[in-house]
Amino acid sequence: MFKDRNENLILRLPFGFRDIFPLEVSERRCIEDTIRREFVQWGYGEVKTPVFEYTKNISAGVGKNWKDKLISFFDNDGNLVSLRADMTIPIARLSGMRLKSGQLPARFYYFANSFRQSGFQKGEKRVLEQAGLEFIGAESQAADVEVLSILIKILQKLSVKGFKIGIGHIRLLEGLAEWFELDQDGMEFLRDNLISSDLVSIKDFLTQRDKKKADVFLKLMEPVENIKIFHRIISEIKLKKVYDSFNYLKGVYGVLEELGFSEYLIVDFSIMRQFNYYSGLIFEAYCPKITELIGSGGRYDGLIKKFGLDVPATGFALDVDLLHKALDKPAVIKFKNAERVFLFGPSSGILDMIKLAEKLKGNGLIVELFFDDDSDLESLAAASKAVSIYRPDFKKSTVEITDIIKKIKRIVKIEECIQQK
């Protein structure tokens, strides 16, 4: 059918972007459906925000150097604008602009592409397909438990094999910095090196100050499966900020344990993200098959205040692209596949063809129309997983049905083939 099209044009895309074809999109759609059902059933409502916004707004509350990660350009009026790099900030902006305190708490979810600059040679994408939720006005610990259990439930329902959730608390690091009597620069040093995962520099830095405390610090940075391991260490530090943040995490951990989720949990105080807006509980989702985070989130109490509404909030985002790769398909992706048939006839008979197609569709079939040239139609049908080819003869009111799999032909009356199912 496309024999004359032996060569495609060689066109380029900007690096970090790609096209996605129907098979992959349909599989992703199934993943999204599972996620969406969970979001909706927990009372979250879907929001959409502009793809680009003023850079000033979109970089509120993010870390230093973050602006380098934004894809920015000038708007017609000369203002600097950037593509959104996540959905948390736009939703914080939306909440600050539009929500009244009487409308709280508000539960939002989204499916959206976000854009970030990345290293060309590292083979990284510049677009993230994210699915996530934001719980605005999330006053209590219960809100953190809610979003974490939604996250775990989603990963369970998608049958992501061997997934784990690492949970930590950002204030614990601040507490420990106080314990070492570090100034602002020292605290920054710890933060930066935790983000870049350089434990060697942290060890050298802290050992110079207090060797014993440094050992305790590094012990606390180890990921553990049971939070109880840290009890003794924390109580020996005797510092309110450390104790409080630990206790908060313990509370959340305790409820999740009661819910039967403890096998998925890793307690990890070294979790630190580039976003400065996180203010308390913070977490990441891992899967053995994927070497990037499949999801992450946490509490960001101060962020919406930057947009004029002083409310606490918590949320998370999942990377749909990575989730897709994490699944052992096709076992997980049950795609309710309707049978596909090819309907072939002369283009002069288009009216009858469309009428027949409508009736076949009424029987639940997927109908693809072909006109005039039926050379290679059989092999094309096999390639696109069609089960049969219908060749109607409208004068005789019959249709010749070719079964692609069994390779047999039969002729039936048109009415019969419509009533067949």
Partner 1 sequence: MKSAYSRNDDSFDLSIALPKGYLFDTCINVLNEAGYQTGGLFEDTRKLFTVSPKDRLRYVISRPMDVPVYVENGACDIGFSGKDVLAELESDVLELLDLRNGKCRVITAAHVSCINKVKEKYEHFGSIKIATKYPNIAKKYFDNKGMQVEIIKLHGSLELAPVLGIADEILDITATGKTIEENNLIELEEVLISTTRLISNTIAYRLKFNRINYFVNNIKSVVSESGKK
Contacting residues toward partner 1, per CB under 8 A: 123, 162, 164, 166, 196-201, 203-204, 222-224, 266, 268, 286, 288-293, 322, 325
CB of 278 to partner 1, least distance (A): 17
CB of 136 to partner 1, least distance (A): 29
Cα separation, 268 vs 283, in Å, equals 9
CB of 13 to partner 1, least distance (A): 15
CB of 193 to partner 1, least distance (A): 9
CB of 371 to partner 1, least distance (A): 40
Cα separation, 85 vs 259, in Å, equals 34
Cβ-contact 180, 189 below 8 angstroms: no
Cα separation, 273 vs 271, in Å, equals 7
Our CB check for partner 1 shows the closer of 224 and 412 to be 224
Q: How many CA atoms lie within 13 A of 177 on its CB side?
A: 17
Cα separation, 308 vs 106, in Å, equals 16
Our CB check for partner 1 shows the closer of 222 and 310 to be 222
Cβ-contact 160, 333 below 8 angstroms: no
> Pairing relation of β-strands 366-371 and 388-393?
unpaired
Our CB check for partner 1 shows the closer of 197 and 347 to be 197
Our CB check for partner 1 shows the closer of 71 and 224 to be 224
Our CB check for partner 1 shows the closer of 213 and 289 to be 289
Our CB check for partner 1 shows the closer of 258 and 292 to be 292
The secondary element (H helix, E strand) that includes residue 409 is strand 408-413
Q: In 3D, which of 17, 208, 274, 40 has the Cα closest to residue 128?
A: 17
Alpha helices in 43-183 (DSSP H): 55-58, 88-98, 141-157, 170-179
Enter the DSSP assignment of 224. Answer: B
CB of 289 to partner 1, least distance (A): 6
CB of 322 to partner 1, least distance (A): 8
* Tokens matching residue 44: 């979250």
Our CB check for partner 1 shows the closer of 85 and 293 to be 293
Q: In 3D, which of 276, 249, 269 has the Cα closest to residue 176?
A: 269
CB of 72 to partner 1, least distance (A): 20
Our CB check for partner 1 shows the closer of 292 and 403 to be 292
- Residue holding tokens 């044009």? 9
The secondary element (H helix, E strand) that includes residue 77 is none
Cα separation, 46 vs 406, in Å, equals 46
